[in-house]
Structure 1
Amino acid sequence: MARYHVLIPGAGHGARMQSETPKQYLMLSGKPILQHAIDIFEAIEQISSITIVVAKDDAFWQPALLSHCKKTRVVDCGGETRAASVLNGLQSMADTVAAADWVLVHDAARPGIDQAMITRLINAISASEVGGLLALPLADTLKRADEHGLVDETIPRVKLWQAQTPQMFRHAELQQALSTHLHRQPTDEAQAMEWMGHQPKLVLGDLKNMKVTYPQDLTVVAALMQAVPE
């Protein structure tokens, strides 16, 4: 029977946060952003292991983040891009993860993930051939700008979704997809799988699972996490 593993790429710095500290280590509601995700995955019985990928020269990582963890390990094989970090992480897991095992790749800067979302994703994807991801149907009208910052086109939002994480795929298939298409710089795992000819399934996520990108996002996600029960 296939097992479930988590891979969290945490080698990025997040320049748009305007902070010397990488955003995954910024404090949110009393603990680092990354710690929120680790704690949630640690508490889920179905999850067999959690791998955190950090940069080799990461001066901010603190072993105390794993002081109460039983499933989590850290590997310092972060790459130049998110996709490279994920690929390196998959390769580091190869000796302990079966080819058909599921890997849930989750952004280090999405602290609002909860057990309900993860369970919904696992239940929706486990019987599928390809895999899938959490996502939200797009609510806002999209505008494409020209080089002068003027509206060039309005893009219909019908059938458009905003990708979130975790993104869940078989270990061997995801590793092959990223190895094949790393040079094309996929922005997420689903895109690499799409380039291999697959159609990942979209599973309803949640607004509080937003990615912390800008300084003001810390206040927003903290409020959402407090307002919505897990």
Structure 2
Amino acid sequence: MKDPAQVARCFALVPAAGSGSRAGQALPKQYVELAGRPLLAHTLAALAAVPELALTLVVIAPEDRHFEALFPAQPHARCGGATRAESVRAGLDALRAQGAGDEDWVLVHDAARCLLRASWVRTLIETCREDAVGGLLALPMADTLKLAPLVDQRSLGTLPRHGVWAAQTPQMFRLGLLQRALDAARQAGQEVTDEAGAVEKLHLNPRLVRCALENFKVTLPEDFALAEALLRNRS
């Protein structure tokens, strides 16, 4: 039997240092009001409803002028970087300052996935807690995928969708492993757009935990109206 003092804890890390330039909003998108509350408030409420999480830490930009007025009691760190990977890596150090260790689990969640449900997070934790690598919420692709250049946007071909999944968050890995993966990618000059991508570069295979299309990332102007409609019609 494991010593209770040695049981790995779960921490949530929410990178929220971006400017949201693609969102077409006057404020960074995490602070845009949706269904009567800032977008980020919906995200944090879902995480707060997960009893397995020992702490949720939000990573904000050093120059952020909004967070503390809106979320005065929410643990946070002003260590956000220019990229998601930089913000997450700095956030891991901030979690260590809060007492997290190498064997503790870190669930990294996009601030802009504001339709998150606590039940999805709990399923991820239950599925991955004993996994040797960790895993992430994801969705099998149903659409036909087209390859196109950024400029002309004409289809160059069709990509096979069999076995293709769209990565979501949270993405759940042990702190020590995730730190090692992010550091290795940075030292190799490799760009990573999510935590699973960094872990994969260590020749490890994260577990995919099926989730819902509803867990989408609010990114473009039209996404805000959809997210608001879904939030207002939730039971």
Q: TM-score, normalised by structure 1?
A: 0.93
Letter in 2 for 1:154: T
Q: What is the identity, as a one-letter code, of the residue corresponding to 2:85?
A: A
Match of 2:4 in 1: none
Deviation at 1:60, TM superposition (A): 2.2
Matched residue, 1:194 = 200
User: Which secondary structure state, in structure 1, belongs to the residue aligned with residue 130 of structure 2?
Assistant: coil
2: CA distance between counterparts of 1:227 and 1:137? Answer: 25
Give deviations 1:148-188, integer Å, cap 9, x for gaps.
33221101111110010000000010011001102312000
Residue 133 of structure 1 contacts residue 164 of structure 1 at CA under 8 Å; is this kept in 2? yes
Write the distance in 2 (CA, Å) between the matches of 1:204 and 1:226.
Answer: 24
Q: Which amino acid in structure 2 is aligned with residue 149 of structure 1?
A: Q
Structure 1 residue runs of 4 or more that deviate by more than 2 Å after TM superposition: 146-150, 222-229
Q: Quote the Cα distance in structure 1 between the aligned partners of 2:72 and 2:47.
A: 12
Partner of 2:141: 138
Change (3 A) 1:64 1:145: closer
5+ residue gaps, structure 2: 1-6
Which piece of structure 1 moves more, 216-225 or 106-115?
216-225
User: Quick one: distance in 1 between partners of 2:72 and 2:178?
Assistant: 27
In the alignment, residue 116 of structure 2 is paired with which amino acid? I
Match of 2:94 in 1: 92
Q: SS where residue 109 of structure 1 aligns?
A: coil
Q: Which residue of 2 aligns with 1:32?
A: 38
Distance 2:39 2:227 in 1: 10
Counterpart amino acid of residue 153 in structure 2? G
User: Partner residue of 1:112?
Assistant: 115
Partners of 2:167 and 2:199 lie apart in 1 by 14
Bigger Cα displacement from structure 2, 72-81 vs 139-148: 139-148
Q: 1:60-209 to 2 correspondence within 5 Å?
A: 60-67=66-73, 72-95=74-97, 96-146=99-149, 148-182=152-186, 183-209=189-215
Q: Which amino acid aligns with 1:205?
A: C
Give per-residue Cα distances to partners, 1:78-137, cap 9 Å, x unaligned.
011011000000011113102111000000101000111001101110110000000111
User: Counterpart in 2 of 1:20?
Assistant: 26
Equivalent in 62, 65, 74 of residue 59 of structure 1: 65
TM-score (norm: length of structure 2): 0.91
Question: Which residue of the partner structure matches residue 9 of structure 2?
Answer: 3
The whole-number CA distance in structure 2 between the counterparts of 1:228 and 1:158 is 32
Identity level (%): 40
Letter in 2 for 1:191: G
Unaligned runs of 5+ in 1: none
Equivalent position amino acid for 2:120 in 1? M
| Aligned partner letter, 2:164 | L
CA RMSD, 1 decimal: 1.4
Whole-angstrom CA distance in 1 between matches of 2:208 and 2:25? 33
